[in-house]
Structure 1
């Protein structure tokens, strides 16, 4: 592939963390690190969300990036205009999988509440699969894939683990636990994989399906997208 490779990035539109009263959305580093890799290598990125317009950025992910002295996330956050402030409605991409090389779902807890059950998102994923395109997701991003059982059945996958969800004290606020739902989706022929320890990097590539476990896996997912699209 040439430098004209294009990725459709799908962010959540959901900004409330269950009934906790706390804000949520997409997670900064899980977009910033793949974005940095892809843009640097000449990929074109188009950002979409179920509702279109501003996609909510989880404020806790901004604090986490500051605490970690995450220069990549800080640089991305400082971009003007902010690319996540003007996402296109997801419905506007139906029938357009041929225009892209991959679809990518960053995490944050937001996808657990909207993308996990969004029929437009699921239809779009099916179009990308049918067209032989790369499908990638990281952390809670794989929640967008659980309703597309034909994609996950028999596959090796990863995503935010039950142990990690419990560690952040949000297992009770979630509509489901992602690890459990991924196990259900892959069935006996597939498998859910995770790092040896919570928060460790884990990227699983099974054909053109790429999943990452947690924020530490975001850069690796970006690198895997490049390899899957361009080879090598």
Structure 2
């Protein structure tokens, strides 16, 4: 399919929390909900991560109360499983091969995606090329890597992410290097959140689309699809 859209999905490689034996990693539903939104729209998705290979999955996201329909679909999807177990290393990725980038959460991005040079390089390139950038929950930590090279990028930028209140409610507040909401605000972001913790909240600022929490993952991906279809319509008009 010549005009098929290609989405780069950047996943964390980090699995350790601080001052606890509890593990972290990719929050499964924040990956699978957007993945199938893109797949069902006819797009192709490529998984990449800082270390390549199979990323860790946050054990909490496998618990019954967090299992989504897309999680169950993923378990039975041999193609997606194979791709997940063999993600490409970020240093092998060029933005020119993709139409958009999407970054799921899980606490892992607070450590690795927030300071990885290839995350900064790729986000800079996607932004320069006018392509959508999506991130959900702790995924917006990747914007911190970009802000190290471009301190002005986050100033006044409308966005959201996992909130300080939500962090306390999941009892991980003492096991993370910083609170993402606070860090983004310190860098000048115009941060907003839902009135009720864990409710769906998606913010769009130009080509940047961010979601607050796991329930916001699918809607964030849907907004990226809307942006891409809008770009497609514009291209047809030229």
TM-score after normalising by structure 1: 0.92
User: Does the CA-based 8 Å contact 1:129-1:151 persist in structure 2?
Assistant: no
Whether contact under 8 Å (2:134, 2:208) holds in the other structure is: yes
Identify the residue that residue 199 of structure 1 maps to in structure 2: 198
Deviation at 1:205, TM superposition (A): 0.5
Identify the range of structure 1 (15-24 vs 219-228) with the bigger mean alpha-carbon deviation.
15-24
**Distance in 2 separating the partners of 1:30 and 1:46:** 15
In structure 2, the gaps of 5 or more residues are: 234-238
CA contact (8 A) 1:3 1:41 kept: no
Cα separation, 2, equivalents of 1:211 and 1:41: 20
Superposition deviation, residue 124 in structure 1:
1.2
The runs of 5 or more residues in structure 1 that have no matched partner are none
Q: Which residue of 1 aligns with 2:34?
A: 34
- Write the mapping of 1:33-182 to structure 2, written as runs, cut at 5 A: 33-63=33-63, 66-68=64-66, 70-81=68-79, 82=81, 83-93=83-93, 96-149=94-147, 150-182=152-184
Q: CA deviation at 1:119?
A: 1.3
Query: Could you report, residue by residue, the CA deviation over 1:68-125 in whole angstroms, capped at 9, with x for unpaired residues?
Result: 55222111133224131110000001xx212111111100011111111111111111
> How many angstroms apart in 2 are the aligned matches of 1:152 and 1:84?
31
Q: Distance in 1 between matches of 2:20 and 2:142?
A: 22
- Paired with 1:143 and 1:154, the residues of 2 have a C-alpha distance of 16
Alignment coverage as a number of residue pairs: 224
- DSSP-derived class of the 1:107 partner: coil
TM-score, scaled to structure 2: 0.90
Across the aligned residues of Structure 1 and Structure 2, the Cα RMSD in angstroms comes to 1.4
Change (3 A) 1:69 1:109: closer
Structure 1 consecutive aligned stretches of length 4 or more whose deviation exceeds 6 Å: none
Quick one: distance in 1 between partners of 2:175 and 2:76?
Answer: 31
Distance 1:19 1:120 in 2: 28
Give CA deviations for 1:137-186 in whole Å, capped at 9, x if unaligned.
Answer: 0000000112323432221000000000011111111111000011122x
Q: Which moved more, 1:203-212 or 1:167-176?
A: 167-176
For the Cα contact (< 8 Å) 1:3–1:42, is it kept in 2? no
